[in-house]
Amino acid sequence: MKYSWRVVSEVLRIAPPVVGTFREALDDITFEGHTIPKGWKLCWSAGYTHKDPNCYPNEKEFDESRFEGTGPQPFSFVPFGGGPRMCLGKEFTRLMILTFVHSLK
């Protein structure tokens, strides 16, 4: 099952089920020379996060071994979101995907 989940995780990295979502800046912040005022809405994209070459070398290649051991850096793999607002259905979805994969003949 561990290998199957690594393969599924790599599929979710390449094609996340949710493109992204919005968050609100809680404070004024500066990011890469740009000031983002408190209260502005920010859109984050799981697809771009999952293809960041700083987190995933050879990001265009399918490589399930990325998920061996400790796996990717924290918050660099977020197909179900992250932190306190992570999708409540994550574990149910994981169970359903693995059941489906193992039922294939």
Contact 22, 42 (CB under 8 A): yes
- How much of the chain, in percent, has pLDDT values that exceed 90? 63
Closest CA to 76 of 33, 34, 36, 47: 47
Contact 79, 12 (CB under 8 A): yes
List the alpha helices (DSSP H) in 1-105. 2-14, 46-49, 90-103
Q: How far apart are CA 42 and CA 36, in angstroms?
A: 9
Tell me the pLDDT tens digit for each residue of 63-95.
999 999 888 888 899 998 888 888 899 999 999
Q: Is the pTM of this model over 0.95?
A: no
